[in-house]
Every structure is written in structure tokens, then in C-alpha cells.
Structure 1
């Protein structure tokens, strides 16, 4: 089937990421029984990066899907001639928004104007968000003749902290947990008629690049299974690490009396005339 055969609203959050994750076998690790017992991850480092990306997009997608009925949410819209996609596109009374979701688990994020750094490393998230919004702005202007700018958003999921020293001029950088509330507080930009026209354009498969895809329900089921494997492996590694620490502590306690005796004897001998 084609991913955009009838309606773009049929696409699920992280669909493009899941297609890559499950479509490339190099992301997976073959594990024997012993490897499973010791908690070896089922994914390569590249696979884990795609997995984390899917986690973030699915979490943000679920939150966006709870917006009121006058808002319409699209996920994983294929754009351009390559494999790029728009993570989420939201159309509502407050405007049109392209949302670039980034999962930076337990890492600090720092923003100053057009510079965004994660754990001290500069990332192109702001530039990419601007580019996505510009694409959709051009589309809306050309096809519908509507004025106004599509607003780009970078939604950060799972970060340890987000420090914004200077807000970017065009891009909103937000903790993903604040995204829904932020959208609902936007001043009204479009009435019902304009919203209908925009949603119809975005929902039309002919507006976007056609891509082949497996049924989304199957991919989500596979991701749930993979997610369980990843979590179980992490739990096993934690248990083995804890067990190692306990064993080391026990060994130290057993060795402590002789060690203390030796230290005391040495110190006493050195003080004798």
C-alpha cells in the first residue's frame, strides 16, 4: 500500500522513523540466550538513536492528539524528494505550526537565538525547523493565497533541563510537556472557512511525496514489542551492575578487619623507638 493513499490523517506519529528502524536490519542485534540474560541491548547504537527518536515523536503525537476538535493534527508528512518528513503539522485557530520533535533523554539543552546546544554540542534543530516551516508557508501561500507565516516549533522531549538565554526570532523552542498549553494560548489567526481550506490541502495525498509503507498498526505493534525488549535489557543490566556492587562491598567488608589490623600494626611499629 502507499502511506498516503487516501488521507494524510491516517499517518501515525513516528511513522517515518519506524519505517527506517524496522526497514534496515543493520539496526538490530542478534542475541543469544546468554546475551539476553546479561541484558545486551537488541539494537545497535544507530538503532537506539532511531528508537529514541520514535519514543519522542510518539509521546508528542499522543499529546497533540488530545487537542480540541477545532484543531487538526498530522504526523510524519513526507516532504521533498528524499527521505525527510515533518514530524507533526498542526492546524488550528491559533495558526499553522510545524513541530520538530527531538528526544534528548536526560541531557541539558541550551538555547541562545539561533544556537541550540545539547550537552555542549551544537545541533541544527533551529535551522531545520525554519526550513520546514518555510516549505509549508510557501505551499499555503501558493495553493490557497493565504497570508501569514507557518510557525516553526522545536519540541524537546525528555531533557534534563532547557535553558533559553535568548529566544530565537522565528522558532519556538519548548519543553514538549508545555506544547499543548502553548498552542492553545496562541491568538486566533484563522476562522472556520480558512481552517477548512488549509486542512483539505494538507490532508490531500497529492500535496506530499508518495511513499510505500507497511500498515501502521503492524509497525506500532512491533515497536511496542521492541520497546519491551529494550526496557527488559536495561533492567537486567542494572540488576547485574547492582549485584556487582553488592558483591564488591561484601568482599571489602570481609577483608576490612585484616586490612585494618595490618594498618594499625604498621603505624604502631613506625612510632616505636
Structure 2
């Protein structure tokens, strides 16, 4: 994963990094990578149940997909985040105004995260055609309640790691050929 690429840069780069103060963006990136590794380890255990797993895949042009999980019921596009605070769905409007849904974490607007996963889902749908694709935002260090807490924001599942794994394994079976879909995903989304 990302940490391995940093380690592979060589001794001089690691020494230079050790002697200079890390910018905040580097520390945030490192924290995000740790969250991805934790979720990745949980997802890897699903291979025993016939789930295909791909990690850290490039989106043509820019960006990456943290994790892809392939079941006979479809594909899960998973974006891992390390945010403090409680994720919540804020709903506005309804009777007289159009209903709108907003993701907040710790009271702060995080709609861009939902839009990011929606974009990733769109890329995967274009690559796969008729295969069902579900997007998920997995918050690793958020303040989740002991029971429940997961919700759907504008079509994207928002949940903690333990519920992500349960939701994937309990999703209905379908006609998706896991091996063929994995091959197609690997061809369209190369390792980052």
C-alpha cells in the first residue's frame, strides 16, 4: 500500500524525511494510510468467504479507490476516512421544499466525501456495465454509537468498519462472476 511505497523510496529519502519536520499534509496522509490498512486487513479476511478484494486502485486521470470488494451480488467501492466526531445525516426540506441530505462529521459539513464516493462509483459502473455497484464511506476513528449508527447519504452507505464487513457478507447473492469481475476491475483500475 502507500506506506510500502514511501518505504521503498530509498535510504537517503528516509533519512531526509527523518531530519525535517513533517508538514501537516504528510501527517494527515500517514493517518489516512493507517486507516486504510486497518480496513484493508478486515476486508482481506473476507477472501475466505469468496469475496474478491482489491486495494488502492488508480482512477484514470486522478485519484484512487481505497478498496474494491467483489461478491456474487455486486461490487462495493469503499473509501476509508479517519475523522473525529460522530457521522450524522442531516435532512432538510421535505413538505414544501425539496428534501436534501447532508453528511456531517462532528457537526462539520462533509458532503464532498459523499460526492467523491459517488464519482468513484460512477467510474466503476462505466467499467463494468450491468454489475450492481454500491458505494461506502467507512469512518475508522469516528465516534460511532455502540449499537447501529450506520446510514445512507445520497445513495452511499456510511458506516464503521465492523458494520462494513457484516453488510458486505450479508448482502444478497447474485449472478456476478467474482473472478471475471476482478479481472475486469484489475484491467481498468491499476494498482496506485
TM-score range, shorter chain: 0.7 to 0.9
Distance 1:136 1:112 in 2: 27
Distance 1:210 1:103 in 2: 22
With structure 1 as the length reference, what TM-score do the two structures score? 0.56
Q: Which has the higher strand share?
A: 2
Distance 1:53 1:160 in 2: 16
Q: How does 1:1-273 map to 2 (within 5 A)?
A: 12=1, 15=2, 19=5, 28=17, 30=19, 43-67=22-46, 68-82=48-62, 84-104=63-83, 106-112=84-90, 114-123=101-110, 124-141=112-129, 147-161=130-144, 167-191=152-176, 194-204=177-187, 207-208=188-189
1:119-144 Cα deviation digits (max 9, x unpaired)? 22212111111110111011101xxx
**Pairs aligned (count):** 175
Q: Please identify the structure whose Cα radius of gyration is greater.
A: 1
Q: CA deviation at 1:19?
A: 4.4
Which residues of structure 2 form unaligned runs of 5+?
A: 92-100
Distance 1:53 1:150 in 2: 24
1:151-177 Cα deviation digits (max 9, x unpaired)? 101011011236969732411101112
Q: Do the aligned residues in 2 keep the contact of 1:28 with 1:44 (CA within 8 Å)?
A: no
Secondary structure class of the residue paired with 1:167: strand
Distance 1:125 1:115 in 2: 10
Q: CA deviation at 1:149?
A: 3.0
Distance 1:177 1:184 in 2: 11
Q: Which has the higher helix share?
A: 1
1:7-26 Cα deviation digits (max 9, x unpaired)? xxxxx4xx3x764798798x
Which residues of structure 1 form unaligned runs of 5+?
A: 1-11, 32-41, 142-146, 212-273
Q: 1:80 to 1:21 in 2, by over 3 A?
A: farther
Q: CA RMSD in A?
A: 3.0
Q: Do the aligned residues in 2 keep the contact of 1:73 with 1:90 (CA within 8 Å)?
A: yes
